[in-house]
């Protein structure tokens, strides 16, 4: 019998749909950038680049590229909603810790979270 073994996933992707956040924070590009940058640190990831944009009349998008993948946010202050992705690779990273940090800092009262294993390789 051939043994089939699924190896550890290459990455963990935490998909956060965050409802009932503080709309003022969601529309504050400087604060959003601070939160995502700090989140990368909480995840123990290494920031290599970041880009943030403010939309008119409202909303912010931002991506922090880390050596271990990326953290991204898109906000809709008018709905109190933020879509966040915390996607990191490597045993040293803690994407759930970063997710908890982001939920708290956005003052989110109704977070939803899905964890996805990314990159499942077969051994043997």
Burial of 12 (0-12, 13-18, 19+ CB in 10 A): buried
5 three-class SS: strand
Q: Could you give the C-alpha distances from 22 to 19, 46, 49, 76, 110, in angstroms and in order?
A: 9, 28, 26, 11, 11
CB 18 to a copy of itself: min, Å: 10
Q: Name which of 35 and 73 has its Cβ closer to a copy of itself.
A: 73
Say whether residue 61 binds a copy of itself (CB under 8 A). yes
Q: Among 29, 42, 47, 72, indicate the residue that binds a copy of itself (CB under 8 A).
A: 72
Residues from 79 through 118 that contact a copy of itself (CB under 8 A): 79, 81, 83, 85, 87, 89, 114, 116, 118
Active site residue 74: yes
27 three-class SS: coil
Q: Which listed residue (13, 70, 89, 108) is catalytic?
A: 89
Residue pair 108/79 in contact (Cβ under 8 Å)? The answer is no
Q: Which listed residue (13, 69, 70, 99) is catalytic?
A: 69
Residues from 17 through 36 that contact a copy of itself (CB under 8 A): 17
Q: Name which of 29 and 55 has its Cβ closer to a copy of itself.
A: 55
Rounded CA gap, 101 and 82, in Å? 14
Say whether residue 119 binds a copy of itself (CB under 8 A). yes
């Amino acid at each position: 019998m051939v043994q089939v073994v699924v190896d550890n996933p290459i990455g963990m992707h935490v998909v956060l749909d965050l409802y009932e956040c503080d709309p003022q924070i969601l529309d504050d590009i400087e604060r959003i950038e601070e939160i995502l940058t700090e989140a990368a640190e909480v995840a123990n990831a290494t920031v290599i680049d970041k880009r943030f944009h403010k939309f008119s009349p409202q909303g912010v998008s931002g991506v922090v590229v880390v050596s271990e993948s990326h953290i991204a946010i898109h906000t809709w202050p008018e709905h109190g909603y933020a879509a966040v992705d915390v996607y990191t690779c490597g045993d040293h990273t803690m994407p759930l810790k970063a997710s908890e940090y982001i939920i708290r800092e956005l003052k989110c009262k109704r977070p939803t979270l899905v964890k996805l294993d990314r990159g499942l390789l077969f051994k043997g």
